[in-house]
Amino acid sequence: MIRTRNLTKKFGALTAVDNLSLSIARGELFSLLGLNGAGKTTTIKMLSCLIRPSGGSARVMGKDLVKEARDIKQKINVSPQETAVAPNLTVRENLRMIAGVYGLTKDRIRFRVNEMIDVFSLQEVRDKKAKLLSGGMQRRLSIAMALITDPEILFMDEPTLGLDVLARRELWTIITKLKETTTILLTTHYMEEAEALSDKVAVMIKGKINASGTVKDLLETTNTQKLEDAFIRLNQKEA
Amino acid sequence: MKYIYFAGRNSKEILRDPLSLILAGVLPVVFIVLFSLISRNAPIEVFQPVNIVPGLTVFGFTFITMFLGMLIAKDKSSSFLTRLFISPLKPRDFILGYFIPVLPMAAIIAVSCLVTGLFVGIPLSVKLVYTFLSFIPFVLFSGFFGIFLGILCRETQVMAIGNIYIIASALLGGAWMDLEILGKTLKNITDFLPFSHAIEASRIVLSGRQENLWLHLGVVCLYALVFFVLAVFFFRRKMRSDNS
């Protein structure tokens, strides 16, 4: 579904992503782990066609990341790190707007809006303006806006950042259900989240993939019991 | 037609701010009534309905520039525009999506000012329709200038520049004063700006005169064209810079 070869992004003298090569299969949930500034968000920005790579190549759904960006954009969606909603629009209007922008038919829009409202338990606030919602509810809406278009690939940049424990667990349940139909690339700082959700994980350090595989693979490689310990060991080793 | 959904969102974002409606819709109407009342006691030419109504309508349009610029600057500062840059929207969809809300706003301002004009002494005639149409070039300019400002400036900068722009348009456009009192130098400057030409063109149409109409409209059209090109250029550049 996603295959990169030596994908690189430089900002002046800084190499944010350095010769990244990875492969994500259809229906897989792949987590990118890393400290702040490791290159996770830059990787998502490149793979979602927001920024152009400085080098290397990538194919998303068999299409070239640079030359066929328009085709790719139609079939992917992103849940950005910050909540991204239109503040003066209601929950329903926000969902309808994004679905329309992606070209869904009117009937499909109506169906998907109601579906997202149900899935994300937004019934009570569906006619409330987004700016009046709590932070957690805004986050849910922001993620629902990423899912309403039925993307084949969903990029989730720290989706549970700022959510309370209950809201986080609810979102895990939704993500677990999504795995049946959608390929997901997720970045997170929460190791228990990656452990609970991921089919595969990769640890990024200074723009490079330091280790990748299943959680079990990483634990074996680092001779640890928990993903957090494995993550710390890999980072300490690199330091 | 994807831009229609984006345009709908932008219309709601602007029109749901009560301050937008008060400043752009109500303020010019209040001023028209006020200046018309003054003109009954002081026979000042520029306060006559046939002069003051076009002047204050154009003044009302200048608020559109600020509201649109603010909306774009706000979108830029949040992740909202990033989300849309990842969507299949093309640069022309963004320009259309941001420009389309200008049309109903301008129509509301123009209709409310012209209808108020009927109550303060402008006779009901087909000239009102022609006057409405004569506003189009300045409305185009207002929208494209708003996009240009929004894409180049931050929210606080748009606020500051927008306020200066509104005051400048009022002073240098001659909406409620004779430009001759500004002196030769300032009067020459006003000739190079679109405000006085937009106002004068509408005054000519409303009063049924013919002199220099196309010259005045031509200057405003030129400004609209220049800022259309600049808006498109800088918007594409913004999308490219996020993509470089």
Domain that holds residue B72: 2-241
* pLDDT band at residue B180 under the 50/70/90 scheme: confident
Q: Are B88 and A74 in contact (CB under 8 A)?
A: yes
The ipTM estimated for the assembled molecules is 0.87
* Topology (CATH level 3) of domain A2-83+153-238: Rossmann fold (3.40.50)
Per residue in A16-71, pLDDT tens? 999 999 999 998 999 999 988 889 989 999 999 988 999 999 999 999 998 898 89
Q: Which residue of B has its CA nearest to A154?
A: B86
Interatomic CA distance for residues B55 and B47, integer angstroms: 10
SS3 content of chain B, % helix, strand, coil (to 5): 85, 0, 15
Closest CA to B147 of B187, B101, B116: B101
Per residue in A99-129, pLDDT tens? 999 999 999 999 999 999 998 889 999 999 9
Nearest to A80 among B83, B242, B244 (CB): B83
Closest CA to A185 of A212, A158, A213: A158
Nearest to B5 among A48, A50, A100 (CB): A100
Q: Are B155 and B237 in contact (CB under 8 A)?
A: no
**A90: contact with B, CB 8 A cutoff:** no
List Cβ neighbours of A201 (8 Å cut-off, separation of 6 or more).
A30, A31, A32, A33, A194, A212, A213, A214, A215, A218, A227
Give the number of other Cβ atoms within 10 Å of residue B22's Cβ: 12
CB–CB contacts below 8 A, A to B: 76
Place of tokens 């003051």: B52
| H or E segment and range at residue B30 | helix B27-41
| Predicted pLDDT of residue B242 | 57
Distance from the Cα of A226 to chain B's closest Cα (Å) equals 34
Interatomic CA distance for residues A235 and B213, integer angstroms: 73
pLDDT, chain B, mean: 90
Beta bridge partners of A76: A153
CB contact under 8 A, B2 and A89: no
CB contact under 8 A, B9 and A97: yes
Per residue in B144-178, pLDDT tens? 999 999 999 999 999 999 999 999 898 888 888 88
| Predicted pLDDT of residue A43 | 93
Share of chain A above pLDDT 70, in %: 100
CB contact under 8 A, A83 and B5: no
* pLDDT band at residue B198 under the 50/70/90 scheme: very high
Per residue in B50-84, pLDDT tens? 999 999 999 999 999 999 999 999 998 888 888 99
Per residue in A137-178, pLDDT tens? 898 899 999 999 999 999 998 888 877 888 888 888 888 888
| Predicted pLDDT of residue B79 | 84
Nearest to B244 among A51, A74, A84 (CB): A51
Distance from the Cα of B84 to chain A's closest Cα (Å) equals 8
* Residue B236 identity: R
| Predicted pLDDT of residue A107 | 95
Interatomic CA distance for residues A219 and A228, integer angstroms: 10
Distance from the Cα of A76 to chain B's closest Cα (Å) equals 8
Contacts of A73 in chain B (CB under 8 A): 86-88
- Per-residue pLDDT for B128 more than 80? yes
**A37: contact with B, CB 8 A cutoff:** no
What residues of chain B have any CB closer than 8 angstroms to a CB in chain A?
2, 4-6, 8-9, 12-13, 16-17, 78-80, 82-89, 242-244
- Per-residue pLDDT for B208 more than 80? yes
* pLDDT band at residue A239 under the 50/70/90 scheme: low
| Predicted pLDDT of residue A181 | 84
**A54: contact with B, CB 8 A cutoff:** no
Q: Are A223 and A230 in contact (CB under 8 A)?
A: no
Does the reported pTM lie above 0.90?
A: no
CB contact under 8 A, A48 and B80: no
Q: Are A141 and A133 in contact (CB under 8 A)?
A: yes
Contacts of A103 in chain B (CB under 8 A): 2, 88
Contacts of A81 in chain B (CB under 8 A): 79
Contacts of B85 in chain A (CB under 8 A): 50
**A1: contact with B, CB 8 A cutoff:** no
Contacts of A86 in chain B (CB under 8 A): 9, 12-13, 80
